[in-house]
Amino acid sequence: MEKKRGFEIAKGFENSNINLPIRKTKYSAGYDIEAAEDCIIPAFKRGDKPTLVKTGIKAYMEEDEMLLLYNRSSNPGKKGLFLANGVGVVDKDYYGNPDNDGAIMFSFINLRSEEVQIKKGDCIGQAIFQKYLITDNDNAYGERIGGFGSTSK
């Protein structure tokens, strides 16, 4: 079978009992993503950086696709958690990069006054594969050489 798009366990998480994302219903657009380990997301303080929550997974896809990371709909109301970047974008060339093998992380800010505990296996968000278009005069030629946050380097 030809691999088109899907999820795999990222290097370093092979023995961590990570569950690959699944869609819970027949018409769900998103694949539910779980936390790979316990972590604490501190209460927001001005100047703090977002907390990166590891998933232990990576995603492969076709050339004209991306993976979009969305917050779980219940996170803002129940836990005060928001994605720092609004929507995460995972590019095709993030997969298998030399820095972190393409391990996907969610970047959270906690707007509550108390810390939030995330447990391994908690559903923290969802991921949706999507096609994208390029312009007629596109001439992108760069190649990714790193992991998280490396696109502009």
Query: Where along the chain do its domains lie?
Result: 6-131
pLDDT at 78: 95
- In the chain, % helix, strand, coil (3-state, to 5) comes to 5, 35, 60
pLDDT at 151: 56
* 13 and 30 Cβ atoms separated by less than 8 Å: no
> What is the Cα–Cα distance from 134 to 44, expressed in whole angstroms?
38
pLDDT at 51: 97
The domain defined by 6-131 carries CATH number 2.70.40.10: yes
pLDDT at 105: 97
Written as tens digits, the pLDDT of the chain (153 aa) is 889 999 999 999 999 999 999 999 999 999 999 999 999 999 999 999 999 999 999 999 999 999 999 999 999 999 999 999 999 999 999 999 999 999 999 999 999 999 999 999 999 999 999 999 999 999 887 776 766 565 555
* 30 and 77 Cβ atoms separated by less than 8 Å: no
* 129 and 67 Cβ atoms separated by less than 8 Å: yes
Q: What is the pTM of this model?
A: 0.90
pLDDT at 1: 80
pLDDT at 10: 98
